[in-house]
Structure 1
């Protein structure tokens, strides 16, 4: 019988909090059971295994990020939209490092298609509408933005920029400026 008060949603949220505190790689059913002072076996009536827990955290993170990005993009275009979009990802990674890592979890194709992942691509394409890029250049630009944002955020989170000047915020601002210039002057094939 399921323990009173424990639900899949509550376990997912607690798992996301654990990921932010201890790191996404530390999230297991056993670690989550400790948070609720129950045996791990009692959580298996809600979750199949740690992979399912991690997948649910990833889905939560993708949804949260997409919601934030959509709100940040409302009414914006061009460089203003690009900066707002970039800052959503960076701010989310700083506020929720474990959830951000979870959002990078490789999902099976069906789960990925049903997740908020496609919304992220749509939101990126919404930013790119301000730059009037045709296909396949738009797809190349989606991949470029994702690579730059994730790469920078990951390096910054790992302390890669903490030992040198200028401040990483200054670099981030310059990167957004450079991306804006590149998108406005996209090279011909």
Structure 2
């Protein structure tokens, strides 16, 4: 019998909170069960396994992040859209580090195809249409933008920029400007 008050959605939210507090790799069915002061077996009526729980958190994070990105780029184009797009990812990573990590959790192909990950790809390509890139350059630009944003965010979160007096925000702005200039001048 399912314990009153426990639902897959509530467990997913609790797992997402745990991910933000302790790290996504610390999320397990047992760890979430401790948050509710129940035995892990009580949760198996709602989630199949730790992998299922992590997948649910990944899907939640992808959806939240897609909503933020969509809101941030609405009505913008060019450098302004690029900066808003990148800032939405960076801000989400700062506010929700565990969920941000979850958004990069490897999903099986069917789950990935039905996830908000598709929206992320569509928004990235929509943003890049303003730079008039044809294939394969557009795909290269999608990968470069993702790698650049995720790399910067990861390094910043790990304290990788703490060793110099240069403000990471100044580096961020410089990077967005350089990326915009490169995309504007790179014609296929």
- Give 5+ residue unaligned stretches, structure 2: none
Distance 2:163 2:97 in 1: 20
Q: CA deviation at 1:165?
A: 2.1
Assess if the C-alpha contact under 8 Å between 2:132 and 2:187 holds in 1: no
Q: Alpha-carbon deviations, 1:75-123, whole Å to 9, x = none?
A: 0000000000000000000000000000010111000000001110100
Asked if structure 1 preserves the Cα contact closer than 8 Å seen for 2:86 and 2:149, the reply is: yes
Q: Is the Cα–Cα contact under 8 Å of residues 133 and 187 in structure 2 kept in the other structure? A: no
2:64 corresponds to which residue? 64
Task: State the Cα distance separating 1:17 from its structure 2 match.
Answer: 0.3
Q: Which residue of 2 aligns with 1:19?
A: 19
Query: What is aligned with 2:29?
Result: 29
Q: Is 2:145 the counterpart of 1:162?
A: no
Q: CA deviation at 1:135?
A: 1.3
Aligned positions of 1:21-170 closer than 5 A: 21-170=21-170
Mapped partners of 1:91, 1:145: distance in 2 = 16
Distance 2:137 2:14 in 1: 41
| Partner deviation per Cα, 1:31-56 (whole Å, 9 max, x = no partner) | 00000000000000001110000000
Whole-angstrom distance in 2 between the partners of 1:52 and 1:92:
23
Where does structure 1 lack aligned partners over 5 or more consecutive residues? Answer: none
Runs of 4+ in 1 over 3 A off after TM superposition: none
Secondary structure of 2:44's match? helix
Superposition deviation, residue 6 in structure 1: 0.6
| Count, aligned residues | 188
Q: TM-score, normalised by structure 2?
A: 0.98
SS in 1 for 2:47: coil
C-alpha separation in 1, matches of 2:92 and 2:162: 19
Aligned equivalents of 2:164, 2:24: Cα separation in 1: 28
